[in-house]
Amino acid sequence: MSALAAEHGALNLAQGFPNLPPPEGLVEAAVRALRAGVHQYAPMAGRPDLREWVCKHHSERHGYAYSPEHECTIGAGASSLLFAAIQAFIHPGDTVVVQAPAYDLYGPAVKLAGGQVAEVPLLDSDGQWDLSSLLQACTPQVKMVVLNTPHNPTGTVCPPGFMDALAAHLSGTDTLVLSDEVYGPIVHDARPEVSLAGCPGLRERGLAFGSFGKLLQATGWKIGWAVGPAALTAELRKVHQYDVFSTGAPLQAALADFLPTPEGQEHLSGLAGMYQSKRDRLLAGLQGTAWRHVPAEGGFFQVLDASGIIDGDDGHWARQWTRTHGIATIPLSAFYAPPSPMLRLCFAKDDATIDAAVDRLRHIAADHAH
């Protein structure tokens, strides 16, 4: 969709990247790191000071202190570590339970490792996280469950108690849990931030993943982390050692330098509010149109339901509107969901882009009403 958007000069609300600049202090820290001569390999597990920050971040937010030395790994974005974890633990014939629709990495990574994906619906017919379908799929033979909260693409967040119920169900099994928390602190309307790190029964059998790119409007830096018990971290690092090994030394230095500063702390504490106001700007602009929605609960994606506007295949209309109305979105069917008139929009955009998107979406609704 990004290529099609570029070809037609369309607004690109498809791919999940902010068009907002990173904090100025972070950019300055990167320049300082380059000038200070940080050009050689960082340690395989990541810079110790950056791992310390990650572990402190988890203990402050979720009340559990991972060990920077043995329980935290820095990689080339959360995706490299999710991929490494799946390669480390999944063997031919293993089953991995994934809630669908899902971020597009998990399925191919599982298949490459020789495993198979068992999809369960993320949401029940009331739009709530579907615990009973998940528990039903989690037989003792299941090797791994992948969770993602705040969720891409639906914008929902894991409800309180959900992880505890899963933990109770998995008790006595060897099932592992990967929790993709790259949008972790971005929760809206004062919802609690839910993490595997805060759930003792899952923490002992799982890894949680985070992304500096998502937190700092710097997705192109591709630096992320994984935290989890030493035994699981040791296995993860065996794969990480030979695929990525070491990533972005000057950028790691910049992150470790910037994040503990008052500007860094202020940035993180303002993050959820900033994205919530962008979500609200988008949804206020669409009021009174045939676009339907449930406001995103977290992250920076909003799903719009076009069933009041069109029938049928969301992929067709997403491509068509990129050409005819100059706005690119992602059809929800790209994330394993069956074709439905649902589109995902990234609202991590400056206000002018959001306003232009609203204008184009209003035109689509008006044009289809005729």
Match 């100059």 to its residue by tokens: 326
For ligand PMP, give the closer residue by CB, 180 or 297. 180
Q: Which long-range contacts (CB under 8 A, 24 or more apart) does 98-102 make?
A: 98/145, 98/146, 99/130, 99/134, 99/146, 99/147, 99/148, 100/335, 100/336, 100/337, 101/153, 101/154, 101/332, 101/335, 101/336, 101/337, 102/146, 102/148, 102/335, 102/336
Around 171, how many Cα atoms within 13 Å sit in the side-chain half-sphere? 9
Shortest Cβ 200–ligand PMP spacing (Å): 24
For the bound state, the minimum distance from the C-beta of residue 93 to ligand PMP, rounded and expressed in Å, comes to 26
Considering beta carbons, is residue 175 or 219 the nearer one to ligand PMP? 219
Instruction: Tell me the closest approach of the beta carbon of residue 153 to ligand PMP, in angstroms.
Output: 8
Pick the closer one to ligand PMP by CB: 90 or 364. Answer: 90
For the record, the structure tokens of 195 come out as 């993490």
Interacting residues toward ligand PMP by CB under 6 A: 16, 77-79, 103, 148, 152, 180, 182, 211, 213, 219, 222, 224
Least separation in angstroms between residue 237's CB and ligand PMP is: 17
Give whole-number Cα distances, 45 to 91, 246, 308, in Å: 24, 7, 50
Using the structure block, give the residue that is written with the tokens 């008790």.
171
Least distance from C-beta 340 to ligand PMP, angstroms? 20
Rank residues 217 and 289 by Cβ distance to ligand PMP and give the closer one: 217
Phi, psi (deg, nearest 5) at residue 327: -140, 125
Name the residue whose CB lies closest to ligand PMP. 77
If the CB atoms of residues 152 and 175 are measured against ligand PMP, the closer one turns out to be 152
